[in-house]
């Protein structure tokens, strides 16, 4: 009887997981549309590519590390390591804020090199795509901070720690955060590769396009 109930729990998909996957599917569609529009505009108008500021690439590494620290938090949770969990969550928040700051300075650098939003249609796409990704990161920060504060508040004693790590709610919330952050990491890395490859292919006509 116990095995049957356990099997049912394993087969059950929480509504929050379904919602997050539907949201990510919609976000994926949005950015694929952006990328397709960028390529179509460039090919149709035979426009030269735009070189991205070096800060965009550094911020990519920062975001990647923030995803790694959040995975460390998940590992710490599985091992009932309260100190490691708090430490990893704090690092993730700080790295995410650093990513936001570096992205802002990346836009400033782009403007200072003579490429404002109105420079060309391709420039507009770069600003819109990077701003849309940044907005999704910003939307995730409050949930990350709330989880950090609640976790730190609950981990204030041996008994409370045992109750916390046995509670399925924080486990699920951390899983949702990890899924979202991993998606944002891979999405931004994919976008940066897309822009970098576009820059390498400076002459589209040479490819017969």
* Least-confidence region, from 39-48, 94-103, 137-146: 39-48
Tell me what the pLDDT averaged over the chain comes to: 82
Tell me what pLDDT residue 158 has. Answer: 62
Of 6-10, 16-20, 200-204, the range with the highest mean pLDDT is: 16-20
* Cα–Cα dist 46/44, whole Å: 6
On the question of pLDDT at 27 being above 50, the answer is yes
Max CA pair span of the chain: 70
Query: C-alpha angle 59/64/70, rounded to 5°?
Result: 125
Domains along the sequence of the chain with CATH: 15-200 (1.20.120.80)
92-118 as b/e, with b when 16 or more CB fall inside 10 Å? bbebbebbbebbeebbeebeeeebeee
């Amino acid at each position: 009887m116990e095995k049957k109930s356990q099997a049912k729990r394993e087969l059950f998909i929480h509504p929050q997981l379904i919602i997050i996957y539907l949201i990510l599917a919609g976000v994926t569609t949005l950015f694929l549309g952006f990328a397709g529009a960028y390529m179509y505009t460039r090919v149709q108008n035979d426009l030269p590519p735009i070189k991205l500021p070096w800060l965009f690439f550094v911020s990519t590494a920062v975001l990647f590390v923030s995803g790694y620290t959040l995975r460390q938090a998940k590992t710490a949770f599985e091992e009932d390591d309260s100190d490691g969990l708090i430490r990893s969550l704090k690092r993730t928040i700080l790295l995410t804020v650093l990513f936001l700051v570096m992205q802002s300075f990346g836009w400033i650098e782009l403007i200072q090199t003579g490429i404002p939003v109105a420079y060309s249609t391709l420039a507009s796409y770069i600003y819109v795509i990077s701003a849309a990704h940044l907005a999704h990161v910003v939307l995730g920060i409050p949930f990350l901070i709330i989880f950090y504060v609640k976790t730190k508040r609950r981990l204030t004693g041996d008994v409370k720690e045992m109750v916390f790590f046995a509670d399925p709610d924080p486990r699920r919330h951390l899983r949702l955060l990890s899924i979202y952050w991993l998606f944002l990491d891979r999405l931004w890395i994919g976008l940066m590769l897309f822009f970098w490859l576009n820059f390498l292919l400076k002459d589209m006509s040479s490819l017969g396009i």
